[in-house]
Amino acid sequence: MIDNDFIGRGWSFPLDVTANGTIATVGGALKLEQAMTLVLSTYPGERPFRPRFGSRLRDFTFESATAAVFARIATEVRDSLAMWEPRAAVRDVVVYPAQDRENLLHIDITYVIKGENDERNLVYPFYSIPDEGDY
C-alpha cells in the first residue's frame, strides 16, 4: 500500500487541465514517476532559484552508443535521483538501445518507494543525435 501522504499530491506533469477546467493533479506512484522524469528532463541551471537541480543527461546527446557511455548515463541517473528525489530508492539502472530506433536509448530504472517493499520500474526515453556518416 502506497502512503500518499509520504509521496504527496500535486499538479500533473506536464501541466494539464481536467474536463471541468481545473488544473489536473496526481498522487501516489504516478506523482513520484512524474517527479523523477522532471529531474531527468531538467538540466542544471534551467531553474533560476534552484540552479543545481536536474541531471546532466543532455551531455550525452552526441556520445556514441557504447557500454562505457551507457555506464556513465546510468551513474548520472543514479546520482541525480539520489540527490533530488528522496522518496525513491533506486535499485538498478539499465541503459540499452531501442530495437526500432537508432537514436533512442531506454533508461530502465528499478526503484522502490521508500518505506515500501513494492519494486517498480520507470523506463525513461533518451534521444541522441544519430551519426550522419562521413561527408
In a domain, 66, yes or no: yes
CATH code for the domain of 28: 3.10.450.40
Is residue 134 situated within a structural domain? no
pLDDT tens digits, the chain, 135 residues: what are they?
445 566 778 888 888 899 999 999 998 888 899 999 999 999 999 999 999 999 999 999 999 889 999 999 999 999 999 999 999 999 999 999 988 888 899 999 999 988 887 788 888 888 876 665 544
Residue 132 in any domain: the answer is no
pTM of the predicted model as reported, rounded to 2 decimal places: 0.81
Number of domains in the chain: 1
Spatial separation of the C-alpha atoms in residues 91 and 105, rounded to whole Å:
19
Q: Is residue 34 in some structural domain?
A: yes
Distances (CA, A) of 23 to 15, 16, 26, 28, 121: 8, 6, 10, 17, 27
Domain of residue 87, residue span = 4-127
pLDDT at 70: 95
